[in-house]
Homo-oligomer: A and B are copies of this chain.
Amino acid sequence: MFRLAQRIKFSGLAPSRSVRSLFTADKYPVKRGNYSELNAEDIKYFESFLNSKDLLTDKKDLDAVNVDWMQKYRGQSKLLLKPRSVSEVSKILKHCHDRKLAVVPQGGNTGLVGGSVPVFDEIVISLANLNKIRKFDDVSGTLTVDAGVILQTADEWLRERGYIFPLDLGAKGSCQIGGNVATNAGGLRLLRYGSLHGTVLGIEAVLPNGDIFNGLSTLRKDNTGLDLKQLFIGSEGSIGIITGVSVLCPPKSNSVNVAWLGLDSYEAVQKTFKLAKNALGEILSSFECVDRASMEVVDAALKKHDMEAQQPLESMHPYQILIETSGSNSEHDEQKLNAFLENSMENELVVDGVVAQDEGQIQALWQWREGISESSGKWGGVYKYDVSLPLPVMWDLVKAVENRLIERNLQSKTDSTKPVYATIGYGHIGDGNLHLNVCVREYTKEVEDVLEPFVFEFIAKHNGSVSAEHGVGFQKVHALQYSKDAGALKLIKEVKNMFDPHGIMNPYKFIE
């Protein structure tokens, strides 16, 4: 019944380094804050304690950190600092605080909302040189790392010791753990291991005034005062710079299974989700759904690059789901998975499917899912919406958006004069998180007017979130009102001001 999955390769699918070189400050109506300008004295001071190769002012070096991964936002920073210790971070921030110099902390710069690049001339503080694994306890599974450790590095290091990192996401090869925590990254394991608010046990951070917040506990339980570390999780560099993180890591599963299934309707997807929760219970670790348009976009993106890969299923079903189980006993897990698959086919929910037979096939199936994000930018650009919505209405949003674009004659796969190539939906059903991507040939005001505020209003109407896991950054700062009321926003602003009275931390973003 179930065929083998074929391995595909997505390497080389980075976004094309294109013409979108306009400065953020020229593209968007934003005014430089009342910050000091960097001068020779500042540089001299930084040189007094930083290694010369950790202080960079060359255009080439700055070009790389001024632009985000999507090449949508471009800042004009003149200075990149790469401290090698918490004390260096502290000295830098204290000086910037005293001098009122704006800064932007930068991890792997893999964010999707323009949160990690400057808007004007903010000093870029890279955490890349804080990259040591500090300690690990192999009974409790608590890991303590510098903020700049690459997620995949930590995960591989843990796997050799029988554990995994509780977070996994497409950018794992370049994103840094400090950045993951600062943006409260969600990713592919949240359904099973929960959010970072639960798994992060401790945080060390440098406050805007240079003080060091020493909250790097490795205790699972600690009820001694307000849990301030929680504020840093998802703070996007607005109240300090995370320099160290300790996290509770789950044991590596002895047995991992991945199935890719075809379904005819979104109703069947929802029913299958309920069935999976029941039948797979504690071993269900992912339940991802992609629509036909998503799979077509990956297919076309591969062809565009003269690559080809067999689709996981023979037919292009309207909805396809990836189910992953992770457990401690392969025999038990297979029994559970088989019972679930039989049940879902008997109930005519699932109409076709493959189960990965080895690690390579597991990765191949995951690449189909993870490749969507990269593929969707291949026609010139992509409007990305990362939303939380109640399960029943998730794909109503995708359809409503596509209908609006088609009605206004803005979308076509074949007619390259139309700005929109395709409207696709995919996401983490298990977390109530949908990614709506509008793949465009060019960014136009006409398309934007169709999308906004329509998308945000739809979300607000259903009490969803305008940012499920990508964060706010520069992109969503004006959309917060659709997910938070004025009182909550005021309170956030007050807390931000308390921590950062001069407003030097990652300005123009997160909170106005």
State the A residues within 8 Å of B (CB): 137, 139-140, 183-184, 186, 190, 194-195, 197-199, 207, 211-215, 217-228, 230-231, 233-235, 238-239, 251, 253-254, 270, 273-274, 277-283, 326-329, 332, 335-336, 388, 390-391, 428, 431-433, 463-472, 476, 480, 483-485, 487-489, 491-492, 494-496, 498, 510-511
Taken together as a complex, chains A and B put the C-alpha atoms of A214 and B492 apart, in Å, by 12
Q: List 30 A-B contacts (CB under 8 A).
A: A184-B227, A194-B194, A195-B198, A195-B221, A197-B227, A212-B487, A217-B463, A220-B388, A220-B432, A221-B431, A221-B433, A222-B388, A222-B467, A223-B234, A223-B465, A224-B476, A225-B480, A225-B484, A226-B234, A226-B238, A226-B239, A226-B492, A228-B492, A254-B281, A281-B329, A282-B327, A329-B335, A332-B332, A332-B336, A495-B495
Interface contact A487-B211, CB-CB below 8 Å: yes
Interface contact B221-A186, CB-CB below 8 Å: yes
CB contacts (< 8 Å) of A213 on chain B: these are: 487-488, 491
Taken together as a complex, chains A and B put the C-alpha atoms of A471 and B217 apart, in Å, by 16
Taken together as a complex, chains A and B put the C-alpha atoms of A202 and B274 apart, in Å, by 23
Among A212, A218, A223, residue most surrounded by chain B Cβ atoms (within 10 Å): A223
- Give which listed residue, B280, B431, B498, contacts A328 with CB less than 8 A: B280
Interface contact A225-B492, CB-CB below 8 Å: yes
CB contacts (< 8 Å) of A485 on chain B: these are: 214
CB contacts (< 8 Å) of A214 on chain B: these are: 485, 487-488
CB-CB under 8 A for A233 and B222, given A329-B336, A336-B332: no
Interface contact A231-B222, CB-CB below 8 Å: no
Extra contacts besides A139-B273, A186-B223, A251-B278 (15): CB < 8 Å? A139-B391, A194-B194, A195-B198, A197-B230, A217-B463, A217-B465, A220-B431, A221-B428, A221-B465, A225-B472, A226-B238, A227-B230, A281-B328, A282-B327, A282-B328
Interface contact A221-B469, CB-CB below 8 Å: yes
